[in-house]
């Protein structure tokens, strides 16, 4: 999609962090914005800022709620016209050590990081395909969806799912002239760790006080690292360029290169030997 001006972009998690950075970049590119988020105050602030550059509509939305997603989609298109750029960006981090996870933790992370993406695709894709005017879907995964880099089994699981879904979608949607990109950011200067820690289900009761303290201190250390990482606005510009070029993968840095190389090596070495012809 080389020309995205005058398109309507629907962005989940659009009032904070990477989502807001993407919203700013799409506004600069001339897109109308439908921003969805759970944070009503942040939505209000985003609308006040971005309305100076483009038309903006905001919606409080839990991406796990399919009925609300459909209602918000209708309202967004009534206000701004057909949505042809969908950014499934809402996501959370966090969890617990694998042996301490609960079903509640799994349901929370997978519900937002995976089902939220599914709900966004399933809500808008049939509309886009029926209109026959093309479009683009961007799903936010992570470098953690490409190789194991120590961010925990729960987070890795959710992000691997988004990467696989995006790769498969891209193949199927070529016939509809709908592009698909998967954003796989490395460290980005957002407060996702703190917000996820505050919003997550209660920590498992079987965590010891020492384990609980370690988790809190780790979250604080990661937050400090993130604060000095790639700015969300830079990520937003990368996404806009990725959409214009119809890139499958959008990376923000090269931090995952050694992990991807090691995973590739292990995968290839596990292949059975080639059969020799008779």
Q: In whole angstroms, give the CA distance from residue 172 to residue 99.
A: 38
Query: What are the structure tokens assigned to 234, written together?
Result: 């830079």
The dihedral region occupied by 190, where left means phi > 0, alpha psi between -120 and 50, and beta the remainder, is: beta
What phi and psi values does residue 159 have, to the nearest 5 degrees? -80, -35
Q: In whole angstroms, give the CA distance from residue 273 to residue 116.
A: 41
Residues 6+ apart with CB under 8 A from 247: 181, 241
Strand ranges in the chain using DSSP code E only, listed in sequence order: 8-12, 32-37, 56-60, 83-88, 135-140, 178-184, 249-251
The DSSP-derived string for 190-201 is S-HHHHHHHHSP
Query: What are the structure tokens assigned to 205, written together?
Result: 């009761």
3-state secondary structure of 179: strand
Residue tagged active-site, from 155, 181, 182, 185: 155
Beta bridge partners of 32: 8
3-state secondary structure of 4: coil
Q: In whole angstroms, give the CA distance from residue 153 to residue 168.
A: 23
Q: Which of 207, 229, 184 is nearest to 102 (CA)?
A: 207
155 is catalytic: yes
Catalytic residues: 155
């Amino acid at each position: 999609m080389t020309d995205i001006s005058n398109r309507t972009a629907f962005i989940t998690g659009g009032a904070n962090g990477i989502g807001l950075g993407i919203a700013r970049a799409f506004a600069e590119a001339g897109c109308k914005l439908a921003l969805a988020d759970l944070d009503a105050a942040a939505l209000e602030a985003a609308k006040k800022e971005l309305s100076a550059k483009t038309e903006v509509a905001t919606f409080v939305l839990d991406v796990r709620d399919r009925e609300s997603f459909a209602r918000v989609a209708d309202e967004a298109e009534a206000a701004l016209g057909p949505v042809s750029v969908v950014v499934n960006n809402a996501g959370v981090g966090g969890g617990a050590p694998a042996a301490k996870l609960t079903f509640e933790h799994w349901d929370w992370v997978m519900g937002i990081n995976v089902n939220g993406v599914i709900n966004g695709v399933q809500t808008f894709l049939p509309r886009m395909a029926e209109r026959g005017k093309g479009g683009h879907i961007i799903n936010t995964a992570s470098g953690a969806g490409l190789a194991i880099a120590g961010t925990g089994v729960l987070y890795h699981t959710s992000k691997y799912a988004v990467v696989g879904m995006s790769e498969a979608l891209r193949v199927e949607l070529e016939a509809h002239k709908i592009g698909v990109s998967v954003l796989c950011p490395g460290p980005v200067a957002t407060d996702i760790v703190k917000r996820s820690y505050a919003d997550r289900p209660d920590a498992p009761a079987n965590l010891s006080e020492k384990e609980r303290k370690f988790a809190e201190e780790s979250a604080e250390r990661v937050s400090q690292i993130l604060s000095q990482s790639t700015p969300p606005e830079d990520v937003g510009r990368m996404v806009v360029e990725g959409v214009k070029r119809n890139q499958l993968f959008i990376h923000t840095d090269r931090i995952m290169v050694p992990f991807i190389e090691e995973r590739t090596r292990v995968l290839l070495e596990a292949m059975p030997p080639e059969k020799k012809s008779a």
